[in-house]
A and B are shown apart, each in its own frame.
Chain A
Amino acid sequence: MEKGRINRGCMEANTLAIIDSSAEFHNHKDSQEAKDDRIDFLEAVRTASVVPENGTPPTKKMVDAVFTILRAGESLELIMSSYELLNEIEMHFPRVYISESSGNAPRELVVVKEAWLPFMVSLDVMSSEKETDRRKSCPLLDPNGFHELILGLAEMAYKTASQRLDTKFLGNMLLFQYLVNVLEGDFVPHINMYKESLNWNILRECTLNMLLASRRINYKVLMKDCLYTICALCQDYAGNYNESECSETSSEKSSENHNTDVAIALFEVQRATCMAMQKLLIMSMELDMSKQQAHMLCLTNRSRSDGVRTPVVEIVLDELTYHRNILPTFLQVFNDPKWKLEIIVQYLLKYTKPSVRTRRSNGPSENSTFLGVLKSFSDSSSSRNIIKKLGVEVVQLLLAHAFLAYMSMASQQHLAAMPDCNEAVLDSSSVVEISKSVAAAFNSLREVDEKIQISTLGKEALFTAAIIISTL
């Protein structure tokens, strides 16, 4: 152990010396040499910690420096190298993991307390002066900083494609992806352990919960911002733009700004950022669900951190209800089948007959609920009612996407037997049943109004349903 510490201290001093010297000698931070030194530093940290088998984790100061490089985002090369290195460190030296059960001892959650974390969160509500001071010089993000990062992404997402060809924007998207990766690495073992032990304190202390419970941010606004950013970011690659125009502007731009390197990666990074943001929403939904369960089992206490929070699903539903214009984009980009189906079913339940409207369920719906919603279309007066409230376009959109999500869930179960999936076994008979009900629902839409246009998505859903009914 003693030797280990010497090595680590030494590693820290030696690697940090690579960038320190550059800061001293070249006052010009932008100089090529300074950048080269930072690249060398990243490479040195990598070879010292990640490369050796049983390597020692880098010290806090070292990771701080790597993280600072990513946040500074001076060049694409530095951004990519620091981003990849941080993820490698995350993978090699997990901060939280579940220990293997040995003999009779149960599995336990192991939290490496001294491990570096890019967030500054704590359950304490009071922020001391000292802490505010510290924040200035420190690269770590507090809840506010995290929200600001998302706002920055949202702002950029609404700009034109050529305005988005910005290294800094790309860097911020990667920074966000990394942060979500960290949150996930922390959240997954916490929630798995909670499910095993039903000890709410375990989940209470996960970084995501502390982040969302922080009084420094408006949690509701944060979640809404995520939702809108997802919709804005996916505009390009979801086909709502003119590709030739974009590539023209990008090649134009490249001649002056050498931004072709950003251009080629932009959509890919935007897509990945959308997925990361979706992951953030889903983790929050899972957290809500467990929290509700803990509430019902009286495991929580009413301290501030366990205070009442509107479930994310409700926030999303409200936004989709009052701003129906984002509904198509949201449904197109949000691709987690379980939660997508849940959201659509809840959405439709708001508009179906009151008798069908059940108490808001605590978990993702049983497939019977989707089936139940579909059945409500068999009654022509109820279909007419829904069409009147939502419009025939929206009804088709919701039905088609719900069917798609259901199919994805069915095939996912095929691909990987999900351990925590609800017992509703989606066998082929129920897929056929759902397909028949979808076809029947569309038929009854037509019965209500002979003249209605079946949308493209609706036609595709009907085609799929027909093939499934006839071949299985």
Chain B
Amino acid sequence: MMDVDEPLDFELEDSLLINPVVSNKRKKLMGLDELLTEHYKEQSKLIENEAKKQAKAQKTYDSDEDKNCKEAMLASLLDDCQKQVKAISSGEEMSEWGLCVFGQQKATPPLSFPELGSWSNFQSFMNNELNSLVGLTSEQVCSFLEGLLKNGWLLRLILKCGRVEKTIAVWTFSLMLYSSKEELRSSACEFWCAILSSKIQIDARPIEIDWYPNYSELKRALEIYGFLFNSSSSISAENSSDCKGPPQNIITWIKFTAVYCQIRCKQSVLLTSDCQELAAVIICLFLDRQLQGLSVLMRDCMQSVISSFTDEEWINSYSRIAKSVASRVPLDLNCLRAVQCISGVDTRTKHLKSVVAFEILVNCFDDKVANEEGILTWLISINVKEKSCDFFKMYIYVVLAENWLRYDEMFSEKPVIREMWGLFLRNCSCQISSTDLRPQASKVRNKAAYLLQGIGNS
């Protein structure tokens, strides 16, 4: 098939690499739309000006070349300038994404379970002759059961017996979410994941489970970890020095939630609205820098929540999830992170990604424009030459719009939108000069140029 080892044909590429000057495309577009023609005229003028300027710049640079010492001086000067520019621009809002989605932790519920002694297997073992070797008394029940859980005996027994009694289910669930001992948490989580998986695995004998946690239990755990459900209370991570993040227990919460959603097809455990909320919550988790290391787990969880909807549920759900996310994220790099964390590999996440980006974009314009053309018209109307142009915002718009359109499966069937998008990108890539030192200007320019090539290719 494709030969990677072969040298690349640079001539072919070069024609695409050079900033796509529109000359050959222009003819084709001429008759399209009044709006478009107008913009193109304006733009071509600007490009010419740009070209002249660049030519000039080139000349002066060339004449300097023979003066070696001057060159060195200039280089160091340039270095200083760049450093200064960097210092200035790093002071701008373009720093890093990151929200504090966890606040003060609450007290964990008590983990004593006196009713554990009523576990039927205990009762039967007390009278067993083998107890003469073990010497188990009813006082030791709790610690003994912890051992059974930690070392995996409990799971083996349950898989053999085929049923989990309510006491055991409640007890393991609490340990999983609230225990301060890593070992107990993870074995309880393994226990739950295994018994739940028995319901969906082919060839497996489904385990009868006498008690299922409901969504309020999952939500309560998050609250105890300090999760800020209220959007206004989540603060930018930089401003809060006491942003401690969640306890380690969040790991088992994420793992459990992932598996719990998967069994929705067999057991009605979570309502549609619960899953909508869960999806939004998990996207929020992605915004906390402290949880970055768990991104593989979080992505699995999100995937599992999203695929747990039936088709019908999904149609009614995605826009609610998107609106909830959009209303929660601040319009800075965090909103880009929120879009980026949605995988976009399968149809549903593609869809969700597009809609989330769109909803955030709508929020950017305070709901002044809500339809697709409206947004693009607005974007095209931004004059990047104007001194007051906020390139940080521009960058956000470019990335949001890119995600909205790239993951919109109807995009190829919307020629007008396509043209408008191309025009907007050309505005950004051609009208911003490469020497523009305004903060973020080059970032916008490079991004637009990159995206433009993608359009050229397709």
B120-161 vs A, CB cutoff 8 Å, 1 = contact: the mask equals 010011001011011110000000100110111101110111
Q: Answer yes or no: B31 CB below 8 A from chain A CBs.
A: no
Interface residues of A in 72-91 (CB under 8 A from B): 76-77, 80, 83-84, 88
B198–A415 touching, CB < 8 Å = yes
The yes or no answer to B365 lying at the interface (CB within 8 A) is no
Query: What is the minimal beta-carbon distance from A80 to any residue of chain B, in angstroms?
Result: 5
Give the contacting residue for A463; candidates B16, B125, B289; CB below 8 A. Answer: B125
* B window 1-49: CB within 8 A of A: 1-6, 8-9, 12-13, 16-17
Residue of B nearest to A271 (CB): B186
Is B282's beta carbon under 8 Å from chain A?
Answer: no
Interface string of A397-422 (1 = CB under 8 A from B): 00000001001101100111100000
A462 touches B9 (CB 8 A): no
Q: Which of B233-265 contact A (CB under 8 A)?
A: 244-246, 248, 250-251
Complex interface: chain B residues within 8 A of A410 (CB):
156, 160
A355 at interface (Cβ–Cβ under 8 A)? no
User: Judging by beta carbons under 8 Å apart, are A267 and B182 in contact?
Assistant: yes
Q: How far is the CA of A267 from the CA of B252 in the complex (A)?
A: 12
Chain B interface mostly: helix
Q: Does A443 contact B (CB under 8 A)?
A: yes
Task: Say how far B237's CB is from chain A's closest CB, in angstroms.
Answer: 10
Our pick among A56, A170, A260 for the contact of B290 (Cβ within 8 Å) is A260
**Least distance between B22 CB and chain A CB atoms (Å):** 18
A329 at the B interface (CB under 8 A) = no
Judge whether B315 is part of the interface by a CB distance below 8 angstroms. Answer: no
Bound-state CA distance A94–B345 (Å) is 16
Q: Give the one of A80, A170, A269, A446 with max B CB within 10 A.
A: A80
Nearest to A407 among chain B residues (CB) is B156
Q: Is B205 an interface residue (CB 8 A)?
A: yes
**How long is the Cα–Cα vector from A29 to B5 in the complex, in angstroms?**
29
Scan residues 54-81 of chain A and give those whose CB is less than 8 A from a CB of chain B: 56, 59-60, 76-77, 80
Contact segment of B293-301, B368-376, B386-394, B416-424: B293-301
Residue from A25, A268, A463 in contact with B293 in the complex, judged by beta carbons closer than 8 Å: A268
Assess whether B147 is in contact with A264, with CB atoms less than 8 Å apart: no
Residue pair A464, B150 in contact (C-beta under 8 Å)? no
CB <8 Å contact, A251 and B160? no
**In the complex, what distance in Å separates the CA atom of A288 from the CA atom of B344?**
41
Q: Is B250 a contact of A7 with CB atoms below 8 Å?
A: no
Is A264's CB under 8 angstroms from B248's CB? yes
Q: A10-B453, A26-B82 are in contact. List 13 more A-B contacts (CB 8 A).
A: A8-B4, A9-B8, A31-B86, A40-B447, A80-B295, A238-B183, A239-B150, A268-B294, A411-B155, A454-B133, A460-B148, A466-B131, A467-B125
Residues of B within 8 A of A (CB): 1-6, 8-9, 12-13, 16-17, 82, 86, 90, 95-96, 121, 124-125, 128, 130-131, 133-136, 144, 147-148, 150-153, 155-157, 159-161, 180-183, 186, 197-198, 201-205, 244-246, 248, 250-251, 289-297, 299, 340, 344-345, 350, 406, 446-447, 450, 453-454, 457
Q: Can you report 29 residue pairs joining A to B where beta carbons are below 8 Å apart?
A: A6-B9, A6-B13, A9-B8, A10-B12, A17-B450, A18-B446, A31-B86, A47-B344, A51-B345, A80-B293, A80-B295, A243-B181, A261-B291, A264-B293, A266-B293, A268-B297, A404-B152, A411-B155, A416-B202, A416-B203, A457-B151, A460-B147, A460-B148, A463-B144, A463-B148, A464-B153, A465-B130, A466-B125, A468-B157
